[in-house]
Chains A and B, each alone.
Chain A
Amino acid sequence: AQKVTQAQTEISVVEKEDVTLDCVYETRDTTYYLFWYKQPPSGELVFLIRRNSFDEQNEISGRYSWNFQKSTSSFNFTITASQVVDSAVYFCALSAPNTGNQFYFGTGTSLTVIP
């Protein structure tokens, strides 16, 4: 069975602080994909990044970075120098061909950046 756990329900940081959002996944498949989505207060779900199980390279995109570690089944998301516009709910998700490529979402982490 596929499972994604986001243990942090809510996080508050002061603007310009760095913050890491944790994501731990469970799967028995060797081929799978991991994703992060952002849901700002306006409500839409915005795709941020995908990673496949064969690529453990970390990725950096501006102030965003992602750390994928198969050894700990984690796919953590770091925002550097946080800004008020980063306030949102962030979802981690897992999919795998063996389960029809449907997404298994975590429960989300609500991030509030205080000015």
Chain B
Amino acid sequence: DAGVIQSPRHEVTEMGQEVTLRCKPISGHDYLFWYRQTMMRGLELLIYFNNNVPIDDSGMPEDRFSAKMPNASFSTLKIQPSEPRDSAVYFCASAWSGGGFYEQYFGPGTRLTVT
């Protein structure tokens, strides 16, 4: 079975540009999470969805960040405009509530560098 798929794996962009990160969760999973990982702040939860509906976006750093989940198999995280401090690894994870334990399965991450 395919795991969580993220694209691109690496993104280098200039400050001020729009960046879109993409995620395809594991088929059948009803939860989707976006995280950011940096050396300074560790793993931070940005936003998560349940059945395509955003449940908690309190971790989104500011209005420059937005996330959507138009259907059960696709989600995007957009940064507009990007800033150097947004440089990080962004992970997408999905989970299935049916098992009752909600363990999350992570994608390989997108390494974003904003110059």
Residues of A within 8 A of B (CB): 33, 35, 37, 43-47, 50, 52, 91, 95, 100-103, 105, 107-108
Contacts and interface: CB of A to CB of B under 8 A. Distances in A.
A43 B101 contact: no
A95 B42 contact: no
Nearest to A103: B104
Interface string B35-78: 00000001101001000000110000000000000000000000
Residues of B in contact with A, size category: 20 to 34
Interface residues of B, dominant DSSP: strand
A43 B48 contact: no
B101 A47 contact: no
A44 B108 contact: yes
> Which has the most chain A C-beta neighbours within 10 Å: B45, B91, B104, B111?
B104
Contacts of B97: 101
A105 B31 CA distance: 17
A43 B55 contact: no
Nearest to B43: A105
B55 A105 contact: no
Contact of A43 (B103, B104, B105, B108): B108
A78 B111 CA distance: 31
Contacts of B93: 45
A47 B108 contact: no
Contacts of B104: 47, 103
B45 A45 contact: no
Given A44-B109, A102-B48, A91 B101 contact: no
